[in-house]
């Protein structure tokens, strides 16, 4: 699951999320009025060093926290989860997000059971848009 979460971070499924404010709001000192369109550019947020250390690197371990030091047991922790929104959020969230989460977890588990997976080189995360 940490690999999947890191994949969502490094290559967001949606480039941005847009919302229309339903009430006045103050954001970083800016006073925004009701009806203002606010856009979160997820790719920029997820690859910003202020939000994620080594943001240009694929580091699934960033999503794990050690539960039992003696048994080397970890659990999924999501410190940057508010910035990683592959299925949107709120009322407009993708209705299939739970199915995708289950399917991706099962597919990844099968791949790791059936194959020996090796790291070959850094991923070039710079894409060009047409």
Has residue 75 been placed in a domain?
Answer: yes
* 31-81 pLDDT, tens digit each: 999 999 998 888 888 888 998 999 988 899 888 888 877 777 777 776 556
The β-bridge relationship of strands 25-27 and 73-76 is unpaired
Q: Write out the residue range of the structural domain in which residue 74 sits.
A: 2-114
72 close to 101: Cβ distance less than 8 angstroms? no
Residue 20 lies in a domain: yes
User: Positive or negative, the Cα torsion across 17, 20, 25, 27?
Assistant: positive
User: Does the annotation place 94 within a ligand binding site?
Assistant: yes
Is residue 121 one of the residues assigned to a domain?
A: no
Q: What is the DSSP string of the chain?
A: -HHHHHHHHHS-SSSEEEEE-SS-EEETTEEE-TT-EEEEEHHHHHT-TTTSTTTTS--GGGGEEEEETTTTEEEE--TTGGG--TT--GGGS-TTHHHHHHHHHHHHHHHHHHS-----S---------
**Tens-digit pLDDT profile for residues 105-128:** 999 999 999 999 887 776 666 666
Tell me, yes or no, whether 58 lies in a domain. Answer: yes
Q: Does 70 fall in a domain?
A: yes
The reply to whether the predicted model has a pTM over 0.85 is no
In a domain? residue 119: no
Number of domains present in the structure of the chain: 1
């Amino acid at each position: 699951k940490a690999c999947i979460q890191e994949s969502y971070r490094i290559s967001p499924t949606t480039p941005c999320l847009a919302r229309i404010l339903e009430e006045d709001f103050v954001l970083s000192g800016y006073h925004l009025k009701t009806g203002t369109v606010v856009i979160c550019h997820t790719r920029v947020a997820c690859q910003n060093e202020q939000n994620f250390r080594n943001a240009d690197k694929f580091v699934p371990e960033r999503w794990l926290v050690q539960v039992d030091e003696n048994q080397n047991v970890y659990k999924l922790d999501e410190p940057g989860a508010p910035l990683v929104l592959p299925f949107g959020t709120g009322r407009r969230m993708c209705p299939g997000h739970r199915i995708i989460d289950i399917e991706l977890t099962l597919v990844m588990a099968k791949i790791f059971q059936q194959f020996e997976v090796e790291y070959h080189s850094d991923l070039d995360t710079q894409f060009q848009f047409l």
